[in-house]
Chains A and B, each alone.
Chain A
Amino acid sequence: MRSGIVSYGVYIPRYRIYPAEIGRVWGQDGEAMGKALGVEAKSVPAPDEDAATISVMAARRALARSSIDPKDIGAIFVGSESHPYAVKPTATIVSAAIGATPVMTGADLEFACKAGTAGFQSCLGLVNSDDEQIPIRYALAIGADTSQGAPGNALEYSASAGGVALIVGKEKVIAEVCLTMSYTTDTPDFWRREGMMYPSHAERFTGVPAYFKHVEMGARQIMDGMGTKASDYDYAVFHQPNGKFPLKISKSLGFEKEQIMAGLWTPKIGNTYSASMMMGLAGILDLAKSGDKILAVSYGSGAGSDGFHLEVTDLISEYPRSKAPLVSEAAANGIEIDYATYSKFRKKLKMEGE
């Protein structure tokens, strides 16, 4: 059996802000902005949540659905652009909070919105390596973010929070990875300099030369490598910076809407950045059955895409999905907040002594 996903878990903070409320504050037509972006609401982390707490919750949920001893997890990679420390790994916090420490390795990764899938690829490499040289049975890849857009910027309508954890291994695999390839160039479409609170982006440059080119090339090289076409897949999921881009790219690649709706979550919760494509993949795994083929392509500004051809195994029929929330359950029961509360939660207010 090929290596792949052994278990998965998702976490989405409960608070929500709606585009109309953001627009109200900045004198913009928020509802029209939400419609243009294809975003109905975005998740907002509570004041006591960050990328580490979200990572731990997602990882614990992935473990809850498996019988794996956390001590058998030999590597943890946490991909995020909002690690709580500039220096000190989020991976070590996760390792202690799931009981994987101390005989293991870990690292924090950063590649804008695709750091989580870069970790997924690293995990596949480790579990596939020779057992005598690198004795790692299972590895954990997490994509988690509490991303921020500058107040009033278009990004503020979509930048949200959430996390997905994938346990990767060669045993008990529910979704095999048959091929993974990346497509990477030095394209400065979106960035954040050290010490800056908010990212910057090159506006329309983030579209055609960045997202669309890299996702398309990433998808095409997977389909070329596997000898597949769009209609061969049961599901497809692409990075979702908003609700519109994934619809447009899937159409140009020849996919039908029915193939991508199970994995399209940005309209409901916003762009969870490093978790974005992984959240869609989790949404698909929530429904998938044995034999289903999935094309998954992440995108990270800067820029690159990670493509995956996955095939769901027979073990999915006995996989205990109900032991942790499905994406639809994690996304439900949001608590609506206004912009003032959002500003307080996201520390946009300058407090006494600061």
Chain B
Amino acid sequence: MAVARHWRNQDQRYNLAGTHCKVCGGHFFPKTSMCPTCHRRSMGKLERFQFSGNGTISSYTIIHDGMPQYSSQVPYVIAYIDLEEGDHIIGQIVDCEPSEVEIGKGVEMVFRKLSEEGRSGTIQYGFKFRLTM
């Protein structure tokens, strides 16, 4: 069950693929079957859109008591990111001390392991972010 669910989300998790509305020009993540602005007018006028992965931190929190799978990463940062093409996303900030993270700092997408189904199950991969140098 979990394998199929993760597989269906591969494109958006691997490639930060969302949706572009050709009516209003908006970019949305995750993928949507209807533009939240144009509603019915967007039907048939939506296309896959791949975000660059560049954005700015607009808010963040430091997780000290994380999920068991992330125990080797605490304390880690989860940030609210404004993507440069529009829309916002929540993602983990890696490769830094939490004290380095600040609102307004730029981030870039990286490809990381998100979780795994135990030692014998599948591994899920996808986007995370790190501070731009």
Contact = CB atoms under 8 A, between A and B. Distances in A.
Interface string A47-61: 111101100110010
B113 A53 contact: yes
Interface in B99-133: 110-114, 119, 122-123, 125, 128, 133
A88 B71 CA distance: 26
Contacts of A344: 72
A97 B14 contact: yes
B110 A47 contact: no
B72 A97 contact: no
B50 to A, nearest CB: 8
Contact of A52 (B11, B50, B73, B125): B125
Contact of B112 (A48, A84, A88, A96): A48
A96 B17 CA distance: 12
Interface residues of B, number: 22
Contacts, number: 54
A85 B124 CA distance: 12
Contacts of A96: 10-11, 14-15
A49 B113 contact: yes
A351 B69 CA distance: 11
B95 A14 contact: yes
A49 B94 CA distance: 11
Contacts of A50: 113, 123
Nearest to A333: B133
Interface in A125-143: none
Interface residues of A, number: 26
Contacts of B50: 99
A53 B50 CA distance: 19
Contacts of A329: 133
B111 A97 contact: yes
A245 interface: no
Contacts of B14: 56, 96-97
A84 B94 contact: no
Contacts of A57: 110-111
Nearest to A15: B95
A335 interface: yes
B118 to A, nearest CB: 10
A93 interface: yes
Interface in A322-351: 329, 333, 335, 344-345, 347, 351
A56 B15 CA distance: 11
A46 interface: yes
A93 B125 CA distance: 9
A48 B15 contact: no
Given A46-B94, A48-B114, A56-B111, A97 B125 contact: yes
Given A96-B14, A97-B14, A97-B125, A46 B111 contact: no
Contacts of A56: 14, 111, 125
Contacts of A48: 73, 94, 112-114, 128
A161 to B, nearest CB: 13
A82 to B, nearest CB: 13
A49 B112 contact: yes
Contacts of B110: 53, 57
Nearest to A88: B122
A85 B113 CA distance: 13
A60 B111 contact: yes
A99 to B, nearest CB: 7
Contacts of B133: 329, 333
Interface string B58-91: 0000000000000111000000000000000000
A147 to B, nearest CB: 17
A347 B113 CA distance: 14
Contacts of B72: 47, 344-345, 347
Interface in A254-276: none
A49 B16 CA distance: 18
Given A46-B112, A57-B111, 7 more contacts: A46-B73, A48-B112, A57-B110, A84-B123, A97-B15, A345-B72, A354-B119
Interface of A: 14, 46-50, 52-53, 56-57, 60, 84-85, 88, 93, 96-97, 99, 329, 333, 335, 344-345, 347, 351, 354
9 contacts: A46-B95, A48-B113, A49-B112, A49-B113, A52-B113, A52-B125, A56-B14, A88-B122, A96-B14
Question: Which are the 8 A-B pairs with shortest beta-carbon distances?
Answer: A56-B111, A48-B112, A47-B72, A48-B113, A97-B14, A14-B95, A53-B111, A344-B72
